[in-house]
Amino acid sequence: MKIGAFSEELDSFPDFELPSQIQTLEIEGWPKLKSLPQQQIQHCTCLQVVSIVSFDSVEALPEWLGNLTSLTTLSIRRCKNLVSLPAVEVMQRLTKLKKLVIDTCPRLGGISTLKSGPEWHKISHIPRIDGQVFISIFHLPHSHRLILFQRGWGCICYRSLHEESWDNIDTGHYVLVASGS
């Protein structure tokens, strides 16, 4: 079930009720939202797969995620300001969680950044952690150029850019690959 993509004028999710036996849920936010819809989700203990998409104003995932004890897959995508995962105790309560996907959450970082950062101890017990490879374009030597592979609707397009074009890159829709020039 997918919930979201409502009018961006709303300050919060409209009231909704989830089926008691729901197993899969994708919730999509918008820039104004500062939190996930707690009241509707926190008691859905049958949820096995949850995708959290486009909650740009959320900086930390809520502690109540630990109530989703049947969760096997958690996907977090396009949350531009996310910097913190729930506490280690909360993440360890998710004993069935086998897969975590973190994609296009630049402040949280890519998988390699997570492995060396302060959030790793919270998720290191999860068997499979996937995500977009994230390369900071500002730390590449000037002699390099970037090839951007744009993901979308079954096709992959690419283009190369030089330093003066970097301001026009929206990394939320690209995988960045460095190549020598």
pTM of the model: 0.70
Cα separation, 22 vs 43, whole angstroms? 11
Q: How confident is the model at residue 172 (pLDDT cuts 50, 70, 90)?
A: very low
- Residues pairing with 177 in the sheet: 147
How does pLDDT run across 102-156, given as a tens digit for each residue?
988 888 877 667 787 888 889 999 999 887 544 344 444 444 444 444 343 333 3
For the chain, give the percent of residues with pLDDT over 90: 33
How does pLDDT run across 34-49, given as a tens digit for each residue?
888 777 788 888 999 9
- Token reading at 157: 């397009």
When mean pLDDT is compared across 52-56, 70-74, 89-93, 169-173, the lowest value belongs to: 169-173
Domain 2-132 - what CATH class?
A: alpha beta
C-alpha torsion angle, residues 154, 159, 165, 169 (rounded to 10): 20
Cα separation, 159 vs 104, whole angstroms? 19
Segments making up each domain of the chain, as ranges: 2-132, 135-181
Indicate the helix (H) or strand (E) that contains 112: helix 111-115
Across residues 8-33, what is the average pLDDT? 79
- Token reading at 126: 């999860």
Contact 97, 71 (CB under 8 A): yes
